[in-house]
Amino acid sequence: MLPHEKLHNTVLPMQRLLSFRAMSPRVLVARFCLVALLCLAGQVGAQHSLFTYRGQQKNDFLGKSGCGLGDLNGDGFADFAIGCQEDFLGKRPGRVRIYSGYTGTVLHEIVGPSFGMLFGHHCARVPDLDRDTVDEIAIAAPNSTTSNGARSGAIRIYSGKSFALIRELPGGRAGQRFGQSLVILGDIDGDGVVDFAAGTSRLVYPFTNIHGVRVVSGRTGKQLYHWEDKQRASEFGLVMAAPGDLDGDAVPDLIVSARRGFHRGQQTGYVRVFSLKSGRELARLSGDSAYDLYGESLLLPGDLNRDGVADFFVARREKINNRRLYGLLDLISGKTLRRIDSWRPGQNALSLLGTAFTAPDADGDGLLDVASLERRAGPKGGYGLLRVFSASSKRLLRSIRIGGANRSRSSLACIAGDVNGDGHDDILYGSIFAGSNSQNLGLAKLWSVRPMRLSADEHHLFAGGSKYQWLQLDAGVAHAGDFFFFVGTASGTKPGLQLGSLHVPIQVDAVTKLYFAARDSLFAPSSGLLDAAGRGTSSFFLPPELSHKFPPLQLWHCFVVADRNTLQLRLASNAVPLRVN
Q: Sketch the domain layout of the chain as residue ranges.
A: 49-175+409-449, 454-580
Element (H, E) at 514: helix 510-518
* C-alpha distances in Å from residue 70, one per residue of 145, 160, 161, 294, 452: 31, 9, 11, 32, 21
Nearest Cα residue to 395 out of 440, 438, 365 = 365
Q: How confident is the model at residue 410 (pLDDT cuts 50, 70, 90)?
A: confident
pLDDT tens across 308-340, in order?
999 999 998 876 665 556 578 999 999 999 999
Distance in angstroms (rounded) separating the CA atoms of residues 374 and 413: 13
Q: What is the pTM of this model?
A: 0.88
* Domain 49-175+409-449 part of CATH 2.30.22.10: no
- The whole-number pLDDT of residue 345 equals 72
Q: How confident is the model at residue 36 (pLDDT cuts 50, 70, 90)?
A: very low
Residues whose CB falls within 8 Å of the CB of residue 176, separated by 6 or more in sequence, listed in order? 148, 149, 151, 152, 153, 200, 201, 202, 214
Q: Residue 208 pLDDT more than 90? A: no
Distance in angstroms (rounded) separating the CA atoms of residues 522 and 14: 13
Top-tier CATH class for 454-580? mainly beta
Cα radius of gyration rounded to whole Å, the chain: 26
- The whole-number pLDDT of residue 237 equals 96
Nearest Cα residue to 158 out of 210, 75, 98 = 98
Q: Dihedral of the CA atoms 115, 196, 183, 225 (nearest 10)?
A: 110
What amino acid occupies position 213? V
Highest mean pLDDT (candidates 12-26, 267-281, 406-420): 267-281
pLDDT tens across 510-530, in order?
889 888 887 777 888 999 999
Distance in angstroms (rounded) separating the CA atoms of residues 310 and 333: 8
Same fold, 49-175+409-449 and 454-580: no
- The whole-number pLDDT of residue 439 equals 76
Where in 347-467 does DSSP place strands (E)?
355-359, 369-376, 383-389, 396-404, 412-417, 426-431, 443-452, 454-456, 460-461
Percent of the chain surpassing pLDDT 70: 83
Q: Are 390 and 335 in contact (CB under 8 A)?
A: no
Q: Are 300 and 241 in contact (CB under 8 A)?
A: yes
Q: Residue 37 pLDDT more than 60? A: no
Query: What order do you get walking across the sheet with 136-141 strand by strand?
Result: 123-126, 136-141, 154-158, 165-170
